[in-house]
Amino acid sequence: MRYLPHSDAERAEMLGVIGAANIDALFSAVPKSALKSFDLGLPAHSPEFLVEAHMRALAAKNRAGADGPFFVGAGAYRHHVPATVDHLIQRSEWLTAYTPYQPEISQGTLQMLFEFQTQVAKLTGMDVANASLYDGSTGTAEAVLMARRLTRRNKIVLSGGLHPHYRDVVRAYLKDDADLEILSASPEGQGDILDHIDENTAAIVVQTPDFYGHLRNVKTAADAAHAKGALLIVVITEVVSLGVLEAPGALGADIVVAEGQSIGNALNFGGPYLGLMATRKEFIRQMPGRLCGETVDADGQRGFVLTLSTREQHIRREKATSNICTNSGLCALAFSIHMALLGEAGFTRLARLNHAQACKLADALAGVPGVEVLNKSFFNELTIRTAQPAAQLIERLAERGILAGVPVSRLEPTNPDVANLLVLAATELTTDSDISELCVALAEELA
Amino acid sequence: MSMNNQGRPTGVGTSGFASTSGSALLPNEPLLFEIGDTEHSGVDLPDVTISNDRLGGFERKSKLDLAGLTEPEAMRHYVRLSRLNHSIDSGMYPLGSCTMKHNPRLNEKMARLSGFSDIHPLQPVSTVQGALTLMNELSHWLMTLTNTAAVALTPKAGAHGELLGMMAIKAAQDAAGQSHRTIVLVPESAHGTNPATAAFLGYSVKPIPARADGTVDVQAVKDALSTDVAAIMLTNPNTCGLFEPQVIEIAEAVHQAGAFFYCDGANFNAIMGVVRPGDLGIDAMHINLHKTFSTPHGGGGPGAGPVVLSEALAPFAPVPFVRKGAGGLELVEHAKDSALGRITAFQGQMGMYVRALTYMLSHGGDGLAQAAQDAVLNANYIKARLAHAFSVPFGDYPTMHEALFDDTFLAGTGVTTLDFAKALIDEGFHPMTMYFPLVVHGAMLIEPTESESKQTLDRFCDVMEELAADAKAGNKERFTSAPLKAPRRRLDETRAARSPILKWERT
Amino acid sequence: MTTKFTPDHEYIRVEGATGVVGITNYAQEALGDIVFVELPSVGKVLKKGDEAAVVESVKAASEIYAPVSGTVTEINEALSGEPGLVNQDPTAGGWIYKIAIADAGELDGLLDDAGYADLTK
């Protein structure tokens, strides 16, 4: 087996040094009834080319984004990732390093995390960011718990514009919680959260651009929350939007959670992704996740370490801020490299390009009979109401080679009001001809 | 006040040795923000103007101030930074409980096939049948290797899997009208995530003391069990690197008391293909794909922590999951009566599923068993070679995939476990896990994995013996001043924690 | 003015009806550099043995329990900016909080100088 270095002779020699008659002697603590008492019935080891053939056959049964017009978004976005990013993250020293617990020989990872935290803090306009979480949805649940610790209040209000999956994750984390108030879906961008804040409210959770693409007024939400002593958690699923939209930190957000996949990371059918979390300086001791900080070494040279680790499970055990044990290191690296390649100039150009393509998409869709665009404002994603149920429409368009977006009913199956709603995204990869192909096909299907 | 026997803080050495950091091939590297500026960019994009924007008046007015690098600058920055890291590819990484094994590059290549990497979690299910098939195949391997009834693939990491497993147990207890069960038993030797997870779900944690031989006593478990106990969280093989010999009796006692057996599968690498946890009576166990099935650790994630479930817990799996339907595979995204719901936005760590399945197919059932046996062989070899110079806490019987020593052998030398580990850095090895498990004083937990050749193991043992001899010979300075040959000397963690600097500020 | 000790390494210096609470010199040495002190809020009512504060070193967090029952009357704000005061002089500048002693009788159950010295021999 190509991954196992020992020859049988070496194994025998090593057993001799140990003083064991055979390998089974080393498993003597295992109850006899459980040791090798079975035939797994799994295939035997396989050469590289056969494994590759098997995997390629599976991959070929999927329709890749690059295979045709593609408008699927709703929390994961198809962007271009520069070749440099993927080359660099496959370097051994990044790919095959462990968590940087030995800082003397992990300065690469640590400095990168320090740079990453700086990038995220700047993007969101917040004081501090952590070294990443699993993804945006679990990050939202963690932010909700953090707000409860900070305010010692219990009530959490989720906006009707929050991604339904994120809402479901929060619900699972706060199971059976009477203090979780979930507002009904608001596909028209209608805002009603301000009326639900009271003296027991720990935080309100507002997504912008929201699930349906509408841009929400963060400032108004922050002011209303703060007036009652509550916190504002801002959720962002499309981080590229921050290239043209005001930073939530500048508008009064207390905790910002974002899905960072759009920068540096492929769609990957849902993971691994990258949770970003940033907050105010005074809240850092209640923030979950790893943090990297600057210090000096014994020679006075600048260096970096994981710090404030007493918040974490390996020290606080049952008193930890969270049970999280890992971050999304390699995805954070990809994000950081891509963001460094973009820089402010490139990042704002990228955001404008996304918005420009979405404007073209909106204008073109508005001209299709049987289609109504619901958004007055949006970044790169919008919702349309179609004359037919969106779920079936999507399937028919997929047969024509067009992935036309996400029917809202897929995420909200029990809500009849959303059956005809379709969420579509455009990015820098969306071409003008993709848009016209979509509109022609839509017009034919709806005719 | 409570005392905690975690490692003492890193002291700041005062050695007169010259530092070798900043040498020609290990350069110091400025921060990205000290190299780039807001004008430079390594990505060519058209600069579009939008006459009729739809930003609703929410345009950014605050400054981004994000530094950019052109492509050659970026390449150099990240390559130079990377050289400051130790990695499995460059040297042995014997971190106990972390399973730092070889990461095959075929895994990476497969994960990058556009049919896997360029598919969206919400595109029509009819267009991702290959991905769903892959998830099914991975599930089959995991269930077969563990002899369990079901698997929930979605958890994003081991701790997330642990959370899910315990949520499933809670849901099952609630469904059975057993909500009054509020206690979870956790052995003292457990990893910190176990009590953190139990507490997160509102359980109170009852610690189970370890026996003198490092294993859990079935009688201690029986004594702790009551009608208020919801579950036991047990790591097997345990954190001391030992297989729990009474695990079947423990499982039976737990089940008899109406509780569930959560097994922390962090150490599954020792037994994959050799012992099936389902045969031991487990109800739920997470499997760290990044440990056992070679998906890269990536400097701290992403991980993946699928959870296998017993028949009793299978109904409490979260959505989404794959099911066979009339027209092909279906993705069940909403279970009407799912007690649990959803624990992450999409289908979990697909990129890791591809890598793990690639690894499994490469090894086959026979290769996985051989890998587990080699991992155990290697740990016992290290233990056998070093027992004479080091101190073994739990007597002379076989270990699983980790060799555990305590710091008795350093008594009177003035050298701590931490100092010893730092000296190992100067010899080109990553330190072992230190001060864990907590039940062993000054613990050194060494996990070689199956990936190390006999030659490397011998060199490691030679170095360890030489270091032990040197410590006993009174050459304290070598240890307390270490490392001297790394890119940095010891770092001042106190300073970092007292006044945290968590981002770069323009001065 | 007497000082009493708990087996968990807290001291309480009795000043009339008030007790000044902190950790002993032995404890601060064992913990190493203190990097953070989580202070109780003034007015908090504590029962003997309740968790009153947390002191953190780089790699450990230790709860400080109330040596006697009472109400927190004052906290050492200086520790927020300078947690190292606990290391420099735990009984003077490094005190943690003051408590209005509810039941002076509880003091009798604590260790005196000699008793604590025995414990930490």
Residue B202 exposed, middle or buried by CB count within 10 Å (0-12, 13-18, 19+) = exposed
Whole-angstrom Cα distance, residue A55 to residue B130?
A: 9
* E-strand stretches of B350-476: 403-405, 433-434, 444-446
Total structural domains within chain C: 1
Structural domain of C18: 2-116
- Looking at every residue in chain A, the average pLDDT score rounds to 96
For A5-8, which contacts have Cβ atoms below 8 Å and span 24 or more sequence positions? Answer: A5/B451, A5/B452, A5/B453, A5/B454, A6/B374, A6/B377, A6/B453, A6/B454
Residues of chain A in contact with residue B38, where contact means CB-CB under 8 angstroms, are 343-345
Nearest CA in chain A to C62: A316
In terms of DSSP bridges, do strands C61-65 and C45-46 run parallel, antiparallel, or are they unpaired? Answer: unpaired
Give me the domains of chain A, ranges plus CATH numbers: 67-81+344-446 (3.90.1150.10), 83-338 (3.40.640.10)
pLDDT tens-digit profile of C34-46?
999 999 999 999 9
Whole-angstrom Cα distance, residue B108 to residue A87?
A: 11
The amino acid occupying position B166 is M
Give first-to-last CA distance, chain B, whole Å.
Answer: 42
Interface test with A, best of C34, C51, C58 (most A CBs within 10 A): C58
The answer to whether the CB atoms of C59 and A310 lie below 8 A apart is yes
Whole-angstrom Cα distance, residue B442 to residue B418?
A: 8
Whole-angstrom Cα distance, residue A350 to residue A355?
A: 9
Interface test with A, best of B2, B51, B54 (most A CBs within 10 A): B54
CATH topology of domain B108-360: Aspartate Aminotransferase; domain 2 (3.40.640)
Arithmetic mean of pLDDT, A222-251: 98
The answer to whether the CB atoms of A315 and C36 lie below 8 A apart is no
Arithmetic mean of pLDDT, A343-368: 98
Tell me if C121 is assigned to some domain. Answer: no
pLDDT value, residue B7: 33
Interface test with B, best of A48, A62, A321, A373 (most B CBs within 10 A): A62
Q: For chain A, which residues lie within 8 Å of any Cβ of chain C, measuring from their own Cβ?
A: 285, 309-310, 315-316, 319
Percent of chain A clearing pLDDT 70 (strictly above): 98
The answer to whether the CB atoms of B196 and A295 lie below 8 A apart is no
CATH number of the domain within which C14 lies: 2.40.50.100
The answer to whether the CB atoms of B6 and C65 lie below 8 A apart is no
Nearest neighbour of A17 by CB, restricted to B6, B199, B385 = B385
Residues of chain B in contact with residue A106, where contact means CB-CB under 8 angstroms, are 84-86, 299
* E-strand stretches of B162-301: 183-187, 204-208, 229-235, 260-264, 284-286
Whole-angstrom Cα distance, residue B198 to residue B190?
A: 12
A63 touching B (Cβ < 8 Å): yes
Residues of chain A in contact with residue B100, where contact means CB-CB under 8 angstroms, are 96, 98
Better-scored residue on pLDDT, A362 or A312: A362
* Residue located via tokens 């040197």: B470
Q: How many of the other CB atoms lie within 10 Å of CB of B315?
A: 18
The answer to whether the CB atoms of B124 and A48 lie below 8 A apart is no
pLDDT tens-digit profile of C26-69?
999 988 999 999 999 999 999 999 999 999 988 788 889 999 99
**Which chains form contacts with chain C, at 3 or more CB pairs under 8 Å?**
A, B
pLDDT value, residue B313: 96
Whole-angstrom Cα distance, residue A128 to residue A151?
A: 19
The amino acid occupying position C58 is V
Residues of chain C in contact with residue B497, where contact means CB-CB under 8 angstroms, are 35-36, 56, 58
Q: Of C114, C98, C103, C109, which is closest to residue C13 (Cα–Cα)?
A: C98
Residues of chain A in contact with residue C59, where contact means CB-CB under 8 angstroms, are 309-310, 315
pLDDT tens-digit profile of A192-205?
799 999 999 999 99
pLDDT tens-digit profile of B279-320?
999 999 999 999 999 999 999 999 999 999 999 999 999 999
Nearest CA in chain B to C54: B1
Whole-angstrom Cα distance, residue A197 to residue A222?
A: 11
The DSSP secondary-structure symbol of B181 reads -
Nearest-CA distance from B435 to chain C in Å?
11
pLDDT value, residue B340: 85
Tell me if C104 is assigned to some domain. Answer: yes
Whole-angstrom Cα distance, residue A389 to residue A399?
A: 16
Which string of DSSP letters, residue by residue, matches A355-408? HHHHHHHHHHHHTSTTEEE--SS-SSEEEEEESS-HHHHHHHHHHTT-B--EEG
* E-strand stretches of A125-261: 128-129, 155-158, 180-182, 201-207, 231-236, 255-259
Tell me if C30 is assigned to some domain. Answer: yes
Nearest neighbour of B1 by CB, restricted to C27, C36, C84 = C27
What is the separation of C-alpha B392 from the centre of its chain, rounded to a whole number of angstroms? 25
Residues of chain A in contact with residue B493, where contact means CB-CB under 8 angstroms, are 295, 305, 307
- DSSP-derived 3-state class of residue B72: helix
Could you tell me which CATH number the domain at B366-486 has? Answer: 3.90.1150.10
pLDDT for A354 beyond 60: yes
Nearest neighbour of B8 by CB, restricted to C32, C35, C55 = C32
The DSSP secondary-structure symbol of A320 reads S
Nearest-CA distance from C68 to chain A in Å?
23
Positive/negative CA dihedral, B467, B473, B479, B484? negative
Residues of chain B in contact with residue C84, where contact means CB-CB under 8 angstroms, are 498
Between the alpha carbon of residue C84 and those of residues A135, C57, C60, the distances in Å are 37, 10, 15
- Looking at every residue in chain C, the average pLDDT score rounds to 93
Residues in chain B with pLDDT < 50? Answer: 2-22
* Residue located via tokens 């929060």: A170
Residues of chain C in contact with residue B416, where contact means CB-CB under 8 angstroms, are none
pLDDT value, residue B16: 31
User: What residues does each domain of chain B span?
Assistant: 108-360, 366-486
Non-local (6+) Cβ contacts of A297 within 8 A are A104, A303, B21, B488, B489, B490, B491, B492
The answer to whether the CB atoms of A138 and B160 lie below 8 A apart is yes
What is the separation of C-alpha C50 from the centre of its chain, rounded to a whole number of angstroms? 12
Q: Of B360, B361, B341, B357, which is closest to residue B349 (Cα–Cα)?
A: B357
Q: Which tokens belong to B358?
A: 């690639």
- Phi and psi dihedrals of A261, rounded to 5? -55, -40
Tell me if C54 is assigned to some domain. Answer: yes
* Start-end of H helices in B28-83: 32-35, 71-82
Tell me if C82 is assigned to some domain. Answer: yes
